[in-house]
Structure 1
Amino acid sequence: MPLKRKGPLQTLQRETDDIKKQVDALVRDVQQLDRTVGSAGLTEASQRCGDLQKSTEETMKTLKKLTKAEEPAPVGNYEQRKLDEERRLQTIQQQLQSLSVMLSVPQKPTQSEKVTPSASQDEESEEESEEEDEDDDEEKQTDFFVVVCTFVGEQEGDLTVQKGDFLRILTKNPDGWWLAEDSKGRKGLVPKTFLKVPQDQEEEEEDEDESDTEEEGEEQLEPTTKLRCGFETQPPDGAMNATDVLSAMGAIPAGFRPSTLSRMLAEGNTYRSSYYIQPELSQSQLAFKDLFWDSDTGNVRPRVARSSLMLTLWSCRMIPGPGVGVQVLSRHLRLCVFDGVKVLSNIHTVRACHSPKNPKMWTFSPRTAGILPSLLDGDCFVRSDSPSPDLGILFELGVTYIRNSTGERGDLSCGWAFLKLFDASGAPVPHRTHELNVNGGTPYERGVDVDPSISRRATGSVFHQMLASRKQPKLLVKLRLPSTKNRATLNLLPDSLVGSTCSIQLLALYRQVLADALVRDRPTIQNADLICNPVLATFKEVLDHTDLLDALRSAWAEKESTLRRSHKRDCELLKGLFVEVYMSTVFPLLWSPALPPAQWADEEQETLRWNAVFASATLGVRDGAGLSALLSVNPAQEAFDITQLMVSLSCNKCSSC
């Protein structure tokens, strides 16, 4: 019997398998690089990485040229298999790119490279020292530094230091590993990126080279945070001083930090839902990258993302709280899509509940229904199309506090957890309940405990260690696939978005209205005139205020309950009703002076605003009073602005349209 002939796609799959094996072997070698080889091994690993990158790129080009007609025998589901292979190659490319960055960063010297330099090296060092002495303005010769991040020695000759220790620098080696002496006279090597100039010394040198010092500090931080921690995050800013004060007072646990995700939310709209719900323009700026019209169905064309799943927040346990003198205004959890380097989605917030009888236990309220706030909804959806092999969900447990003595408000991180969505082979992690360890510090720190005192007690017998492990903070979450109905709705949303499950239908209706105005009804794709559509002009603002979105959700649920089953399948009818409900409920509230301003974690203000929102929204949807208020003789509205009605196509996810 003749052998079955292999098709081009099957041959390419085997080539990809071979490349994957070589990449896995390279990863293992790189992980052992510091302990087994020196600079020669680094060069060899870098060369192997480059060769694999070329092979992967050539294989990708070959794959894209393949067609079903080239197959010697029929292949079932050919296009899907080809797409799966393309995604596998993209994952390998991303992995090789990360390895290339890692290998390009100066590595830590091995023991053989830490010996006393030779005579020729001494001469070269003397020449370099003379050049440095000629130009002191380029680099300050500082003797004393403070440790900004705990470092545990990895090899003989390293110096283990704790955050806050003062060190005297004896030698500044060009490879980035400095010889230091601590207060007890112990000497050893420490990475310079873990050190900074003491605050008082910085103030003395501020007038001379403030800008140079900041630039140098940023350059020094980036390699270490990538290699040792896996996060490309800047170190805490001035808010850290307030946290240090509270820590010194014993008011907060040692593992608490200023909230990283809260700071990102406060810096602008880049990490808000309103930014990610907007369509993204293509490179030509003449069409959209993630919003297409399907003429066959008369609807938005569905887009299947790499990750599209449902997430249920269950509880957090053993989360310590602030001590005396600090009042907690809000306990909450913020989550986003993260790839170990940067945030890839909006940051979604869910408020937690707790009982005074068990203050270390945080719980969430899944499946919010009716007019209950979606801010309490522990059922979330996560959507991302990133090809990163390290794709996952970053969770940050936080509290908003106020100091009783000063009235100062702030946001603290009580710890963070990370749930990777794909394993080393690229397969999705199991869709089940996951118990995640909660780490202290910030996402760019490693090995920090929320409450270090628990770890110190975790010594002795195995039984005592098991008891101590049960006292460690944990986060309980459940991953599951969306239902058939939810999957179809999620495919109408942008490629990257995180939000509450109860808002999926509203977001999908908005995207359909958006496609009608921006794609279907445009005269030509080159037309970029202003579009008069108050829903599109203002919906993103509603999305950033959960109480307004809840009012719209409640009004829509009431309207939908009156529809027949056939009407619920009529897409054009649903879009028209959505616009009608929106205009009669939340649109008049956006510029109503009677609506109290939003104030996060202010219970009294939140209650006043909640009552005002739902009193107006309920009256509007039942009696049509919303539009009547806009057309009344003495309207109680703020001054009219053209941005309330007009949408521009010339911008790409900006805050002005």
Structure 2
Amino acid sequence: MPPKRKGPLQLVQREVDGIKKQVDSLVKDVQRQVGSTEEAFRRCQELQMSSEKTLRTLRKLTKADELAPVGNYDQRKQEEETRLQNILERLNILSLELSPPGPSTAAGYTPKEESDNDDDGKESNSDDDDDDDDSDEDEDEKQAVKPPSQSDSRNYKVLSDFQGEEEGDLSVQRGDVLRIIRKTADGWWLAQDSEGNRGVVPKTYLKIDSGVDDDDDDDDENEEESSEEEEEQDGEELTDDKQSGASHSNWSTVRKALTEIDATDVLSAMGAIPSGFRPSTLNKLLVEEGLTYRGSHHIQPELSQSQLSFKDLFLDPDTGRVRARQVRTCVSFTLWSCKMIPTPGVGVQVLSRHIRICAFDGTQVLSNIHTVRATYNPKSPKTWSFSPRMTGILPTLLDGDCFLRCNSASPDLGILFELGVTFIRNSTGERGELSCGWAFLKLTDDTRNPLPNRTYELQVNGGTPYEKDVAMEASVTRGSPAAGVFQQILQARRQPRLMVKLKSINSRTRTQLSLLPDTLLHCLSCVHLLALHRQLLADTLLMDRPTMQNADLICSPVLSTFPVLLDQLDLLDALRGAWLETEINMSRAQKRDLSFVKQEFVKVYMSSVYFFLHSPSLPGHRWADPPSEEQRARAIYATLDSLKHQQHTTGQSGCPEVFVDPMHRHNAFDITELTFDLLHVAR
């Protein structure tokens, strides 16, 4: 009786078992120092290539390929894919330990090994295209053995002149074409010019050279994520060339950046990051640029060119109110939903799905960066939703109703939406943030007329906002060129997209928006609080100061701490809830009395949010940290309930007794709690 034939999935399972045994054997040999490092490194590369080839084969399998019915087919296939991902992660870590330091220092290192490294890099990238047929894979494997050339690396064009200030910097002129050797997380990229000079240049001075062929672009797109070993070798070669004159320079930092592997690259090699994902551009601006792109900075008054008056803050002498200011662009929009967004693979836990929003003109961010968190249903993992229907006040962090005020005259002004996920890596506990794509809504048409108020379906692009034509991971397998119209329509509907609705606003909200700074993007439900803060700011700076040239410290706890709320939205929600309770108890006449409203607002602020800011029971604010967010929510709600009880007992809003109540602890007093430093905060 002939032996029973094995199905494709079972054959792959046997291959995975064999690879795992070889990896275990290699790890033991390395630990026991059996054989040379070069031999172990070669075995590691061969296992990486074998694992990636098996992974590509596994991903192409379907249930229809089996010779006989297989129970729990999808689950068994996913289990094998997870095993391969874990094997690849082990091999990647081992490869970093075994990889030679560079051509100038590695004993016994030969060009043959360099070719092997490149072959490995090319192989690892071929799994980015899961839907290619077998002939395409064979073609890629043949091309992979060719040594890298200068034309194989991605070329960038210089946007502006850059004069190197330190040793190791590369001076370039506008229009020069550079070959990027190494991209680093700190934004200083190792590049080589046409004359062979090497050095680091800031990435903000570069853009992708449009003169590169499309085919080369596709190949280079893959090379960016997989050719780290080649770049490390180039980086070491560069440092050796420059070492003779490096008495004091930043080359220690550059050397470290060249030899470290980024978490994104590791996860990409594991298959945990779909193609088109990148480290978040807007999150990097928030982290590295301090307060420049935060709402707390943009809510502050802006000084005029002479620095002796204000540019965007004036009083109406007849009414005593803030004078309304009209700007070139003032729109209201609603985030509706995101569909067909690729999901990160195994090995990472997603802590937050969100969209970061800002005004953008194609080259630079023109406003603060506002973040809206998406709601997520595990049953529909590729769909993100916003503004869910909830009882009570919708938290600002989840509210997709936003406004944008911007006075830029750029003809390309629009709204940039960057879809992102904050994740934690299961194996190491390392946190990070990835961009899942971006979309751009230009706010004017070709004739410079404002866009009409309606719902827009925006395509989600891969890469960063500075990269063009980077496709996201295909949601379905590609059809043949002769596919029917219906299949093409179906394929188009399965591409990642974002639904955004431009809408009109009522006259009251429009009036409140006109009191705000010339440039600001925030949640629409908080406009009345921002307008009240603006009125208090005008009273203090324009009426209460002895002279307009006086820059002494001002005693105003509200003005000194209110901007913090735009960066800690749970505290802004607490103020919104406390103020709503107070407004409900006001009469119509009291609501029309601006002086009474301001007085009550200060009372409510001091006995709620101001107390929270200096309470030891409130943990520090940390983005996308569930335990911290839960502790803060419990502390805020418990204190608000206590304040409501005191308000009902005494019949007064904003009871100052909370500061002396032994039930509520308070941090030690600091004079900075009360002082508003105009020169320090004004823009």
Same fold judged by TM-score > 0.5?
yes
Distance 1:211 1:266, change over 3 A: farther
Alignment RMSD (CA, Å): 3.5
Matched, 1:464 2:493: no
Distance 1:569 1:210, change over 3 A: farther
Could you list the runs of 5+ residues in structure 1 that have no partner in the other structure? Answer: 1-98, 109-135, 143-147, 168-193, 214-235
Matching residue within 141, 151, 162 for 2:219: 162
Q: Is the 8 A contact 1:368 1:377 kept in 2?
A: no
Note the C-alpha offset of 1:464: 2.5
Q: Is the 8 A contact 1:153 1:160 kept in 2?
A: no
Matched, 1:535 2:555: no
Distance in 2 (CA, whole Å) between partners of 1:491 and 1:525 is: 23
Distance 1:634 1:360, change over 3 A: closer
Q: Match of 2:219, as an amino acid?
A: Q
What is the correspondence of 1:145-544 to structure 2 with a 5 Å cutoff? 162-163=219-220, 198-206=231-239, 208-209=241-242, 241-267=262-288, 268-365=290-387, 370-452=392-474, 454=476, 456-457=478-479, 459-461=481-483, 462-544=485-567
Deviations along 1:353-394, one digit per CA (max 9) or x if unpaired, are: 121111101000168773432111011111111111000000
Moved more, 365-374 or 614-623: 365-374
Distance in 1 (CA, whole Å) between partners of 2:437 and 2:193 is: 41
Note the C-alpha offset of 1:458: 7.1
Q: Which residue of the partner structure matches residue 125 of structure 1?
A: none
Distance in 1 (CA, whole Å) between partners of 2:419 and 2:245 is: 35
Which secondary structure does the structure 2 equivalent of 1:597 belong to? coil
Q: Is the 8 A contact 2:363 2:466 kept in 1?
A: no
Distance in 2 (CA, whole Å) between partners of 1:585 and 1:212 is: 60
Note the C-alpha offset of 1:520: 1.6
Distance in 1 (CA, whole Å) between partners of 2:573 and 2:334 is: 19
Distance in 1 (CA, whole Å) between partners of 2:348 and 2:160 is: 46
Q: Which residue of the partner structure matches residue 76 of structure 1?
A: none
Matching residue within 626, 629, 643 for 2:672: 643
Which secondary structure does the structure 1 equivalent of 2:678 belong to? coil
Distance in 2 (CA, whole Å) between partners of 1:317 and 1:421 is: 22
Matching residue within 572, 575, 580 for 1:552: 575
Q: Match of 2:597, as an amino acid?
A: L
Q: Is the 8 A contact 1:393 1:419 kept in 2?
A: yes
Which secondary structure does the structure 1 equivalent of 2:381 belong to? strand
Note the C-alpha offset of 1:304: 0.6
Distance in 2 (CA, whole Å) between partners of 1:368 and 1:237 is: 49
Distance in 1 (CA, whole Å) between partners of 2:558 and 2:258 is: 39
Q: Match of 1:282, as an amino acid?
A: S
Deviations along 1:479-535, one digit per CA (max 9) or x if unpaired, are: 012211110000000011111111100000000001000012222211212110100
Q: Is the 8 A contact 1:416 1:443 kept in 2?
A: yes
Matched, 1:630 2:652: no
Q: Match of 1:302, as an amino acid?
A: A
Matched, 1:563 2:586: yes
Distance in 1 (CA, whole Å) between partners of 2:330 and 2:679 is: 30
Note the C-alpha offset of 1:140: 4.3
Q: Which residue of the partner structure matches residue 619 of structure 1?
A: 642
Moved more, 330-339 or 644-653: 644-653
Q: Match of 1:312, as an amino acid?
A: T
Q: Is the 8 A contact 2:603 2:655 kept in 1?
A: no
Q: Match of 1:247, as an amino acid?
A: S
Q: Is the 8 A contact 2:340 2:475 kept in 1?
A: no
Distance in 1 (CA, whole Å) between partners of 2:480 and 2:308 is: 61
Q: Match of 1:163, as an amino acid?
A: D
Q: Which residue of the partner structure matches residue 72 of structure 1?
A: none
Distance 1:253 1:410, change over 3 A: same
Q: Which residue of the partner structure matches residue 67 of structure 2?
A: none
Distance in 1 (CA, whole Å) between partners of 2:358 and 2:374 is: 17
Distance in 1 (CA, whole Å) between partners of 2:259 and 2:477 is: 29
Note the C-alpha offset of 1:106: 3.9
Note the C-alpha offset of 1:239: 9.9
Q: Is the 8 A contact 1:240 1:257 kept in 2?
A: no
Q: Is the 8 A contact 2:232 2:259 kept in 1?
A: no
Deviations along 1:444-487, one digit per CA (max 9) or x if unpaired, are: 11111121575854743333222211110010000012211110
Q: Is the 8 A contact 2:414 2:442 kept in 1?
A: yes
Distance 1:434 1:238, change over 3 A: farther
Deviations along 1:371-430, one digit per CA (max 9) or x if unpaired, are: 432111011111111111000000001111111111111111100000000122211112
What is the correspondence of 1:51-62 to structure 2 with a 5 Å cutoff? none
Distance in 1 (CA, whole Å) between partners of 2:391 and 2:363 is: 36
Which secondary structure does the structure 2 equivalent of 1:252 belong to? coil
Q: Is the 8 A contact 1:149 1:163 kept in 2?
A: no
Distance 1:411 1:161, change over 3 A: closer
Q: Which residue of the partner structure matches residue 90 of structure 1?
A: none
Distance in 1 (CA, whole Å) between partners of 2:221 and 2:362 is: 26
Q: Match of 2:354, as an amino acid?
A: H
Distance 1:496 1:150, change over 3 A: closer
Distance 1:239 1:422, change over 3 A: farther
Distance in 2 (CA, whole Å) between partners of 1:468 and 1:292 is: 54
Distance in 1 (CA, whole Å) between partners of 2:503 and 2:432 is: 35
Q: Match of 1:487, as an amino acid?
A: R
Q: Is the 8 A contact 1:314 1:476 kept in 2?
A: yes
Distance 1:210 1:635, change over 3 A: farther
Q: Match of 1:198, as an amino acid?
A: E
Deviations along 1:298-353, one digit per CA (max 9) or x if unpaired, are: 10000111111111111000001111111111111110011111111111111101
Distance in 1 (CA, whole Å) between partners of 2:534 and 2:487 is: 55
Distance in 2 (CA, whole Å) between partners of 1:438 and 1:247 is: 20
Matching residue within 608, 623, 648 for 1:585: 608
Distance 1:291 1:628, change over 3 A: same
Distance 1:297 1:403, change over 3 A: same
Distance in 1 (CA, whole Å) between partners of 2:306 and 2:676 is: 19
Note the C-alpha offset of 1:639: 2.9
Q: Match of 1:587, as an amino acid?
A: Y
Q: Match of 1:255, as an amino acid?
A: G
Which secondary structure does the structure 1 equivalent of 2:220 belong to? coil
Which secondary structure does the structure 2 equivalent of 1:293 belong to? coil
Q: Match of 1:623, as an amino acid?
A: Q
Note the C-alpha offset of 1:285: 1.3
Q: Match of 2:285, as an amino acid?
A: M
Q: Match of 1:615, as an amino acid?
A: A
Q: Is the 8 A contact 1:492 1:511 kept in 2?
A: yes
